[in-house]
Each structure stands twice: as C-alpha cells, then as structure tokens.
Amino acid sequence: MSNQDELLRIEGIRKSFPGVVALDGVDFELRRGEVHVLLGENGAGKSTLIKMLSGAYRPDAGRVLVDGEETRIHGAQDSERLGIATIYQEFNLVPDLTVAENIFLGRQPRRYGMIDRKRMEADAAELLERVGVNVSPRVRVRELGIARLQMVEIAKALSLNARVLIMDEPTAVLTSEEVEKLFAIVRSLREDGVGIVFITHHLEEIAALGDRVTVLRDGKSVGQVPADTPEDELVRLMVGRSIEQQYPREAAEAGAALLKVEGLTRDGVFHDVSFEVRAGEVVGIAGLVGAGRTEVARAVFGADPYDRGSVSVAGAAVRGSDVGAAMSAGIGLVPEDRKGQGLVLDASVEENLGLVTLRAATRGGLVDLKGQRAAAAKVAEQLGVRMAGLGQQVRTLSGGNQQKVVIGKWLLANTRVLILDEPTRGIDVGAKVEIYQLVNELTAAGAAVLMISSDLPEVLGMSDRVLVMAQGRIAGELTAAEATQDSVMALAVSTNIGTDISTDISTDNGTTAVEGSRGH
C-alpha cells in the first residue's frame, strides 16, 4: 500500500470518561476505495472512536492523520472540512423539514442573499438519484420510512463531498432487499474511491461487503484480519472466548398457563388472536412487516386498546387499556424501541431500574431510596451491567447494557409474564448470548416469556413453541421440532386466513421481508 492510498490513520488514541477507559491505545487506518469493518461488542469503544472522528469528542492522547498529515478535529465543521461524514444509527434529520432542506441544512445555496430553493431541490434530486432512491426533494422527512431515511442520510453525506464515510449499524432496521440496495450503493462509493468505515453486528455482512476488519475489545484494538475470516474467529476476537452455542436455550419444564389471550381483536389491526404461554416456557412470535405482532403485544400490556377479547394471568382477568392493571397482574413489556419507550435516557441506571417498583417503594409520600438502591445494585450485578456506577446516566451506556437495564427493571418487579419485543436488535453477539441466558434464568424460575423477533434464527433457536402471524391473525402454531425457516415463512405469507382486515405488509419501497420496524 502506498502512502497515497491512505486516507485516514489513527495512532495510539486514548479516551477516558469518569470511571471508564473507553479507548486505550487504539490503532486504525483506512484506505481509498475500501470498506473497513469496525467490529466489537457493545461497550468495546466503537462509538467513542467514531465520535472522535466526527468531532464530538477529543482524544486524551494519540493522533489522527488525514492524507498523511496530523490534524485535530475540534468539532463537526472540522470533520466536514476534512471530508469525513458520519451516519449514526439514530438519524440526524429534522422531521418537519423537507428532504432537500435536510440534505443542505446549514449549507443552503443562496442567490441575492436568499436561499435558492430551486437550485437546492435540483441538487438534492441529483444526489437522491445517485443513491437510487425515488423520493421527492420536497417531501417532509417525517413522511419517509426507515429505508428512505437511510438513503437521505447517505445523500447528505455525498453533498459534503465526503471522502471518508462512517456508517454506524446502517442495516439494523432494513429488510433483506433494502440491505442489498444499500450494499450496491456502498460498492459504488468504494469504486469512486470513498473510504468507508462500516460498523455492524451482523457477521454475515462482513464477508459480503468488507475488505478488512479491525476488532475492538475493552477499548483496545485486538486484531486486524481479512473480511473473509471465519465467523467463529471473529467472535473469539470480539469476546475473548469462543461461543459454542449461539442460541443456548435451556428448556424448562412447562407448567400451567400463566398468560392466556382469547379472541383479542382490534378492528383493522388484528383479529381473533388466541394463545397461551405456560410457566417456564418461551413462545416466539414471527411474521412479516404489518402482521400485527407489536400491536398485539402492546394490547396485552394495556398500552393500546382492543375492541374484543380478553387477557388473563394465572386465571385472573386483566382489565384492558390499563398498563397499571397489567403490571399489577405481573406482565412486563420490553419494547422494541428501548430508547424511546423503555428508558428515561437522562436518568441514572439506578433511577431507571427502579421505575417499575417506585410506587411500591413509596410510603407516606416518601420513597425508600436505600431499599431501591440496594435492589438496583443487586440486579445490576446479576445482569452484569457494565457501568461506572449506579449513578451513571443511562444514555451513556452501550446498547447491550441499556437493554439489560430495561429488562432489569422488570426483574426488580418480580414479573411473571415478560414480553420481549425485538430483545436483541442492535446488540452484539456476546451481549445477545447474555440476554438469552437471562431468558433461561427467567423460565427456570417459572416465568413465562413471549418473544417477538424479526431475527428468524433467534425465534427458532430460543422458542419452545412458535406462533406465526399473518395479516393480523395467528396463521399457525409450530412446536420447536416443527419450526424451520421454510415452515415459518410458509405460514407468514398465508393468504387464506381471513379477508376482513385491510393489510399492507410492504415496506416503504414495496418489498416484503421478515423485519421489525414499528408496527410489524
């Protein structure tokens, strides 16, 4: 490799936060026209590293070289000036502005001192065509689906003439066909000489797209390997140990039915949904986009209304549209959007863990803070939450540790029926196994678990029974022995299970897939 091929080099970067060393002597380099995968568990230091390159953080030690020259990145403007663009997992778009306004936000072309809207929209249209998305520059961003938002972010990066494009979990919420479209765009950018830093938890994507892989573990760069390195070796580098079994389901002996749902119907959304989950059992729910899985889960938890049917726990009826009644009955929900619905991001780990039990811990208007703190500390230790302390703000935790906190608050409440909606989305392979082990512990203790997942191997690997939803109905039930990818998909595309529900199981670009965006 000649020095002219090197776009970016990081040498000995170190960054500490109170109580935590996030990066400890990390080395990394990026060449023109390559996809360099940055791999590591949640908390390994990936996010800190890319925030350093985008100007959000400054290193405590080490240096950054761009085109062979040492540089300092003090903010987003410095990053943009150097040709570095970052697409975060949480999109950095303004919902009420148009696509064109978002692409050129803060850099609108002007004519006679006024924004040249005609030129801005024409330039935006050209960029959108380049990334292969058919959307008007005048449409407001809030009207777009996840896949198109992703493409708008890429168009925005291209408008900066980015030579280094950092993509943080870009495929986390895309369908398989959308992923292929994204990969085609990435390959095209690579051919144009753009250097791409690609962060993913999906190991199968690495060989399909990447050229090299740098693995981070505990804030250190522990290896650089070719993209075709076997997955077992990548896992070993990531977690420092081999994971013998990806889905370590330890089936407990099923007891009596804890959760019973009968004839649950919400007109136009789901119809005549009936099932039960027994003590010690994991029941998985699979289905296509729009099948109604999340809507059923929210109705069972009392977060959304339903028109007919009933929910009961251990034989006792649970009042509908009443979250408090569901919680009192022992039902807990870990929502698919953990940041938006499962956590108070600006609160501490301790405060988040105590959210569900706060009322029970209050006597005469006073909260038993000592008891809450002791219980939170016990659960955090049990779950292995990696944190500087219970007072750490939960938004600063990695995705896997945030998910442990969401689950932990229900453990504190001695939940008997736990509904997990996309429990491992955006979580690395090591943290996934920890979540699965936790599920095993819950069922071994007699809890019932209802698990919704768009990761079909996860459903098959962790479920004792699988329910398949299609068009707002239960299309079929499969035992663990009967459940295969083919048998689940055959039910998921069923069309003869009723015609009185208006359904649309397409994504915003007209494709169908087992996928889990909001409202699946």
Q: pLDDT band for position 516 (50/70/90)? A: very low
Half-sphere exposure of 398 (CA within 13 A, CB side): 27
CATH fold for domain 6-242: Rossmann fold (3.40.50)
Q: What confidence score (pLDDT) does residue 313 get?
A: 97
103-120 mean pLDDT: 90
Q: What confidence score (pLDDT) does residue 504 get?
A: 34
Q: What confidence score (pLDDT) does residue 412 get?
A: 82
Distance CA 62, CA 226 (A): 25
Alpha-helix runs per DSSP H in 331-455: 349-353, 369-383, 399-412, 429-444
Domains 6-242 and 246-495 share a fold: yes
Distance CA 367, CA 361 (A): 6
* 8 Å CB contact between 55 and 75: yes
User: Residue 505: is its pLDDT beyond 50?
Assistant: no
Q: pLDDT band for position 517 (50/70/90)? A: very low
- How do residues 356-407 score in pLDDT, each as one tens digit? 776 665 566 666 677 788 888 888 888 888 888 899 999 988 888 898 999 9
User: Residue 152: is its pLDDT beyond 60?
Assistant: yes
Average per-residue pLDDT in the chain? Answer: 86
Tokens of 517: 């965006």
Task: Look at phi and psi of residue 189 and say left if phi exceeds 0, alpha if psi is from -120 to 50, else beta.
Answer: alpha
Share of the chain above pLDDT 90, in %: 54
7-32 mean pLDDT: 92
User: Lowest mean pLDDT: which of 50-54, 414-418, 455-459?
Assistant: 455-459
231-243 mean pLDDT: 77
| pTM for the whole structure | 0.64
List residues bridging with 333 in a β-sheet: 419
**CB atoms < 10 A from the CB of 326, how many?**
24
- Which amino acid is residue 304, in one-letter code? D
Structural domain boundaries of the chain?
6-242, 246-495
3-state secondary structure of 264: strand
Q: pLDDT band for position 477 (50/70/90)? A: very high
Q: What confidence score (pLDDT) does residue 296 get?
A: 97
Check if CATH label 3.40.1000.10 holds for domain 246-495.
no
Distance CA 173, CA 178 (A): 9
Phi and psi at residue 15, in whole multiples of 5°? -150, 130
- How do residues 190-212 score in pLDDT, each as one tens digit? 999 999 999 988 888 999 999 99
Share of the chain above pLDDT 70, in %: 91
Distance CA 218, CA 269 (A): 45
Burial class of residue 244 in the structure, from the number of CB atoms within 10 Å of its CB (0-12 exposed, 13-18 middle, 19+ buried): exposed
Instruction: Scan for tokens 């170190």, then name that residue.
Output: 14
336-346 mean pLDDT: 87
**CB atoms < 10 A from the CB of 265, how many?**
18
